[in-house]
A and B are shown apart, each in its own frame.
Chain A
Amino acid sequence: MRLRAILDLGGRDVYWQMAIDEALLVLRREGLIPDTLRIYRFKPSAVTIGYFQRVRDSVNLGFLEEAGIPFTRRITGGGSVFHDENGELTYSVVLPIKGDLTDVQESYRIICDGLVKALEKLGVKAEFAPVNDILVQGRKISGSAQTRRAGYLLQHGTLMYATNLDLLEKTLAAPREKLESKGVRSIRERVVTLEQVIGRVSLEELAEALLQGFAKSLNAEVYVDELSERELEAASKLVDKYRDPGWVFKR
């Protein structure tokens, strides 16, 4: 297969990033764009929460408001994520649901394998931990989330290369039960950044590793492209949803 890749590393706010991801799914489903991988970052730093989460249980709302950190709800399930402007890279991919991607859990494994292979390229041994995590040295370095609509899937996920863990810990609320089940006392103890493992890696180097990783995991020939006017226009129609308190606080 051929996979279009968009390196969107300049950074956009959380509302636009979520709107673009949803727009890509909509346009792919309508047959207006090809299978597409996007690699991007959030600017400014932001928080997203999973579709099924309650704001009050998943983030430290007081801190987010005090620090002026924007946040929104994703259309995908999973947990809350701190997207550090200077320490976290995000990927998203839209694909038709067929073959090995039909089974949900298997599709997580296949797509997450792109990150595992990217990390291997950088000399880091990583492993997929079902449902949706990637671990390095037993700690989480990446989490992914997927939604499915009418025969197509959108999966997006994180890669913490130099996330500020102090800030991460202040922004997210992790239930005591969850931490205990992972055998840790704090979120900080459960996660790891690439910087902690191999030192600082440039964004460009990381993005290139991700392109190669996804090419391998999806058995695809990757070509680099840019976001089109059509995609940005489709996203502009969705962006207000992600700013709307009715959406953000819907649960």
Chain B
Amino acid sequence: MKSESIVLRHGKTVKIDLVLSDDCRVQEIIISGDFFIYPEESLEGLEERLKGCGEPACVEEAFKTLESSTLLGVNLEDVKRRIAEAVEKCTGARGGGAD
């Protein structure tokens, strides 16, 4: 299991608290900060969809949850990229360790 906190500045502060399982899947994720998303509940929908993701394509798919949401103070592409990178890095390290 691997925990990671990523802090981003997009005018507002966005913090990604991420726990990856031993097989590099998103086990827990909380995206928090002083930004605005309308409707608010869509962020919880995204967090739910991200759980279980073990590859960037799954992360990409999960972010479609927010396609019709309005965001202020948060750069969604950056958040998505950082989560996908964390998953990819974990998978790479795991693969490297096994060789």
- Which residue numbers of A lie inside 8 Å of B, CB to CB? 50-54, 57-58, 75-80, 104-105, 131-132, 145-149, 175, 177-178, 181, 251
B35 CB to closest chain A CB, in angstroms? 6
Which residues of A are found within 8 Å of B73, using beta-carbon distances? Answer: 131
**A76, B38: Cα distance in complex, Å:** 10
Q: Are B32 and A77 in contact (CB under 8 A)?
A: no
Report the interface size class on chain B.
20 to 34
**A119, B68: Cα distance in complex, Å:** 36
Which residues of A are found within 8 Å of B13, using beta-carbon distances? Answer: 175, 177-178
Q: Are B15 and A57 in contact (CB under 8 A)?
A: yes
Q: Is the interface of B mostly helix, strand, loop or mixed?
A: strand
- Which residue numbers of B lie inside 8 Å of A, CB to CB? 7, 9, 11-13, 15, 17, 30-40, 43, 70, 72-73
**A173, B81: Cα distance in complex, Å:** 27
The number of A-B residue pairs with CB atoms under 8 Å apart is 64
B36 touches which of A58, A104, A177, A181 (Cβ 8 Å): A104
Instruction: Report if A51-B72 is in contact (Cβ < 8 Å); known contacts: A131-B12, A177-B13, A178-B9.
Output: no
Q: Are B9 and A77 in contact (CB under 8 A)?
A: no
Q: Are B9 and A52 in contact (CB under 8 A)?
A: no
**A52, B31: Cα distance in complex, Å:** 8
Which residues of A are found within 8 Å of B43, using beta-carbon distances? Answer: 52
Which 4 pairs show the lowest CB-CB distances between chains A and B? A79-B34, A77-B36, A54-B32, A131-B72
Q: Are A78 and B15 in contact (CB under 8 A)?
A: no
Which residues of B are found within 8 Å of A57, using beta-carbon distances? Answer: 15, 32
Which residues of A are found within 8 Å of B15, using beta-carbon distances? Answer: 54, 57, 175
Which residues of B are found within 8 Å of A147, using beta-carbon distances? Answer: 38, 40
Q: Are B38 and A104 in contact (CB under 8 A)?
A: yes
Instruction: Report if A50-B34 is in contact (Cβ < 8 Å); known contacts: A175-B7, A178-B9.
Output: yes
A26 CB to closest chain B CB, in angstroms? 15
**A251, B34: Cα distance in complex, Å:** 12
Instruction: Report if A52-B38 is in contact (Cβ < 8 Å); known contacts: A178-B13, A181-B9.
Output: no
Which residues of B are found within 8 Å of A76, using beta-carbon distances? Answer: 36
Q: Are B70 and A104 in contact (CB under 8 A)?
A: yes
**A181, B37: Cα distance in complex, Å:** 21
